[in-house]
Amino acid sequence: MIRDKLQAKLKKLPDLERILSRIYTYSQRSSVKAIYIDISVITRLDEFYNLLNLLKKLQETISDVFDKDALKVLKSKRLKALATFKKLELAKKVNKKKKKQINDEESKGDTSNFEDETSTAIFPDYSSVIEEFEKMIQWKSVGNKKVPEPVPGLDEEFDQANARVEKIKGRLETYIEKVRKEMKTRNINYTTASKRFRYEIEVPEDMAKKVSDDYINTSNAKGKKRYQTDELRAIINELEEEEEKFKDALIPFLRSMFSKFYENKEIFTRAVQCAAELDCICALAIVS
């Protein structure tokens, strides 16, 4: 049954209206203030990544539940219009008077006046907007979160900053290989477990006697001893300097990304409210 299928799928989605509101608020702030890449910003970026996926799922849900056969059997013109995709070009053709009316209705949480009652399609087809974001963004994992970066070739300054960071990371790998060769074992690795040190060289305790005098014992773990050297610290310092430049190069892209998303606020809000109305109609059908 269409009603049951829709409600089952919508229940799996979180509160999109609340998530959209948070991202809209952050988008406005980022357009007028400097963005600082800290944990709170990374959390918002990760939330933005999840939101884009949820918006795709919402559109897939409407498309799946209300396929051609399902639309044919719908008797209510309003219900059919809410479940029919409207091309984005048409959805954006709203005059100033209509926009004011829409904003008034949005503040009341009502979508009934987004389109005339005679409209045959109301749900905005925003797939092209999502595709634009997918073409401009590649997502990098930072811990267990996702951070967006421009795809290679989109921003030359960022590409250069990114290349410098990757080059230094390559030097870190070269250095640990040198350490392994000197100690004649592959059982030596970096650890990033310490809160005080970005990288430490972790050596099995029974091999600690092979460590030369220039190794500084920075911490220990069960069966392991951890060290740093002047050479390693110099590489880490260079890495952190280049990472700051990398962040500076990333910030204009982040501003542009959030600004682009905010430009489509009306479209995404309309889609979420259409879904809410569809859900409400289904709920009314159950109790009537």
SS (H, E, C) 230-270: HHHHHHHHHHHHHHHHHHHHHHHHHHHHHHHHHHCHHHHHH
Q: What is the pLDDT of residue 30?
A: 64
**What was the pLDDT predicted at 19?**
92
Beta-bridged to residue 145, according to DSSP, are 142
pLDDT computed for residue 152 by the predictor: 93
Rg over CA atoms, the chain: 27
Q: What is the pLDDT of residue 96?
A: 45
* pLDDT value for 252: 86
Query: Which of 195, 196, 175, 179 lies closest to 187 in space, CA to CA?
Result: 179
Would you tell me which CATH number, out of the four given (3.40.50.720, 3.30.420.40, 1.20.1250.20, 1.10.1420.10), belongs to the domain 156-242?
1.10.1420.10
Determine contact, residues 271/58, Cβ cutoff 8 Å: yes
Give the Cα separation of 130 and 265 in Å (integer): 13
How far apart CA 12 and CA 9 sit, in angstroms, is: 5
Please report which helix (H) or strand (E) contains residue 202, including its range. strand 200-204
Position 74 scores a pLDDT of 86
Structure tokens at 201: 């060289």
Residues of the chain with CATH 1.10.1420.10: 156-242
Query: Shortest CA distance to 115 belongs to which of 143, 84, 154?
Result: 84
Strand 85-87 and strand 137-142: pairing? Answer: unpaired
Q: Please list the pLDDT of the chain residue by residue as tens digits (288 residues).
A: 788 899 899 999 999 999 999 888 888 776 555 555 556 667 778 889 999 999 999 999 999 999 989 888 888 889 999 999 998 765 555 434 455 555 555 555 554 444 554 578 999 999 999 999 999 999 988 767 788 899 999 999 999 999 999 999 999 999 999 999 999 999 999 999 999 999 999 999 999 988 999 999 999 999 999 999 999 999 999 999 999 899 888 888 888 888 899 999 999 999 999 999 998 987 776 544
What's the whole-model pTM score? 0.73
